[in-house]
Structure 1
């Protein structure tokens, strides 16, 4: 196993992500959890990310370097911050002092720049690829994705010490774009099973509903994520006509106008993690008919919260070996969703069985401590870095 002498100084990791909390989203939550848990192990962690303005400060024992960025594209449903030219100098500075650079997804300016910095400083890099190609409704966006993966993505994937993927579809995708088979590994995200937990009883669930302004006497189906087509919020709306035995609850930002005025539909907006955990405890079912997402973090959070899960039947989920009698894996079809959700709303014992299975899966397979232990192994175990 290669790596620096850790008796002389702490091991140094540069984590790279296009966003980081307080910006809300799946990748940024994963990166924060990795950073905090690595720091708790004595690792010297620096996070390179975007921000409204440049800054360097300590947050939860982690050095967070924010480079000023324009984020206007996110309002059009494209989460792609455009960073100032200062990002290259920052990436070079922090890559030079790091033992390993860990890039999250190869589609973003932060990853391209930090990958170049790792190459120039001869610092090995590890890459976590969260998703495959996103079938965005815009042909322009789809074309840009393909171009980026074919050029910058291929270079990052080929040079990576390890390429970590969340499901089999993403593993196949990175293989197509140059990730070497012997360097690819499956690594599930972790989840905070203390924060995301089942309600302790009916009283806690009712109190959570009251605080969130949700009805006390309806079966509630929760969707958590951005209100964009790839997440499938529109399919849930199409599957719900307002006369069903359940209400829909949406937690996330985006096309809020599509939810306005619909009977039996409640919009909570974007929620901080603590409030989102309360939303899971307030609801009865979790539904996310998304596409091309790896294994979504919100599915893991819902499972940790003891909710029955309805999500897309993606062949990439095979490494997780989910019990199809305890997790509903369905096609992205409004009529099929309508039938499945109606059946769950009418069958409380089935919901309870599925919920127990969800919680058991989360506590045994999605722990952050196990994730970080595996991550440290991937950081230090790999081929020597190729010459610049």
Structure 2
């Protein structure tokens, strides 16, 4: 079977209430490029059924169900989130796909159920490792009480491990993931590297008028260095480390924190736990922002900070580098694959003192910021390309199907 005759179904596993996810964005961008080469469609767990064609890709939104929704005021949000499921088996059967490509491991139970549907229908599947590092770390507790750890192992880690072990191929986003996947018991012969690309949208300069509108809307200071953070306000992303680093800085700078505030109660607790007054002049929260506003933000700040404790290959880092920003981040997951020594500063996670020192260094040194930012833009352009990743994925599909038919 030639690659041009393959039919591929991409499936994005995600809680339908999540409005922004790097894994979901990466899945759509990769599959759009794949659809230019072979017959492809993408199914996304959603709040309602629907079908659209976006950039040449047919996207099916499959309504998901959650039996715990009536109890959402009584149960922790994280518990309710784990219960989302979508019945994708009829779509897989009707699509007559030669191979299925899974993206995103959350909720793990939904991923395992979808993989079982493939097994029942005798369709081989591959899976990209969006979120694998995060889930591997999260399942080990992140400081959770001891009684929670067996539940995390059962409900979070074990389903992801099961799916990865039974995949025809596991598509790593960086070579740094190999030890983690080997630790999950995945056969090394089934590992391949198919990295993320960067959305060219973020390389397009915004007009000065658009940039000034953003500055006015969020009241961005113009007399101090601006340090941008983009991501969920959760423990694995290390926002608490940034909050604790800000009072340690010598330079007068402002951290601009972009990303939806999902719970005002959790937000207030995050500030209180890390000694950050609600009205502090050293930090500014944008709450949810649009794609257009994010691009304008990248082009209105001076550096990008991402003190993550667990990440696979963050798209936001690639976007920041494509925007010409130097990066301050951590030595975890695939981040060292993204950020080289001439494009940013990396450190061990969870160290506010080291983070403050790195931020001070860049805030005080404009030539260094420019040199790192220019090198970062060049690195992204050279190494992280969706078209090349799509070609690699199609070659893997063809190999999987060829092996199946020869058995």
Q: TM-score over 0.5 for the alignment? A: yes
Q: 342, 359, 368: which is aligned to 1:350? A: 368
Q: CA deviation at 1:41?
A: 3.3
- Mapped to 1, the partners of 2:62 and 2:294 lie a distance apart of 25
Mapping 1:1-388, distance limit 5 Å: 3=1, 6=4, 11-19=7-15, 23-47=19-43, 49-53=44-48, 55-60=49-54, 61-70=57-66, 72=72, 76=77, 80-84=81-85, 87=87, 89-90=89-90, 92-93=92-93, 97-106=96-105, 108-130=108-130, 131-132=132-133, 133-135=136-138, 136-139=142-145, 142-148=149-155, 151-193=158-200, 195-197=201-203, 199=205, 206=212, 208-241=214-247, 244-254=251-261, 255-257=266-268, 258=271, 260-314=278-332, 316-317=334-335, 319-320=337-338, 322-332=339-349, 333-382=351-400, 384-385=403-404
Q: CA deviation at 1:20?
A: 6.9
Moved more, 273-282 or 309-318: 309-318
Q: Is the alpha carbon distance of 1:307 and 1:141 closer, same or farther for their aligned partners in structure 2, counting shifts above 3 Å? A: farther
- Mapped to 1, the partners of 2:17 and 2:376 lie a distance apart of 27
Corresponding residue SS for 1:356: helix
- Could you list the per-position Cα deviations for residues 133-169 of structure 1 after superposition, in whole angstroms to 9, with x for gaps in the alignment? 1243434654334235664334322221210122344
The answer on whether the counterparts of 1:18 and 1:50 sit within 8 Å (CA) in structure 2 is yes
The answer on whether the counterparts of 1:20 and 1:31 sit within 8 Å (CA) in structure 2 is no
Q: CA deviation at 1:268?
A: 0.6
- Mapped to 2, the partners of 1:56 and 1:315 lie a distance apart of 35
Q: CA deviation at 1:365?
A: 1.1
Q: CA deviation at 1:15?
A: 2.3
- Mapped to 1, the partners of 2:291 and 2:7 lie a distance apart of 29
- Structure 2 length normalisation: TM-score? 0.82
Moved more, 283-292 or 309-318: 309-318
The answer on whether the counterparts of 2:198 and 2:386 sit within 8 Å (CA) in structure 1 is yes
- Mapped to 2, the partners of 1:20 and 1:305 lie a distance apart of 30
Corresponding residue SS for 1:300: helix
Corresponding residue SS for 1:248: strand
The answer on whether the counterparts of 1:246 and 1:264 sit within 8 Å (CA) in structure 2 is yes
Corresponding residue SS for 1:267: strand
The answer on whether the counterparts of 2:206 and 2:296 sit within 8 Å (CA) in structure 1 is no
- Could you list the per-position Cα deviations for residues 185-211 of structure 1 after superposition, in whole angstroms to 9, with x for gaps in the alignment? 122211112x11275798775554234
The answer on whether the counterparts of 1:15 and 1:102 sit within 8 Å (CA) in structure 2 is yes
- Mapped to 2, the partners of 1:62 and 1:102 lie a distance apart of 15
Q: CA deviation at 1:117?
A: 1.1
- Could you list the per-position Cα deviations for residues 108-147 of structure 1 after superposition, in whole angstroms to 9, with x for gaps in the alignment? 2332122111111111100112222124343465433423
Gaps of 5+ in 1: none
Corresponding residue SS for 2:64: strand
- Could you list the per-position Cα deviations for residues 4-51 of structure 1 after superposition, in whole angstroms to 9, with x for gaps in the alignment? 6745xx63323232257982011111112123222333523131x322
The answer on whether the counterparts of 2:3 and 2:395 sit within 8 Å (CA) in structure 1 is no
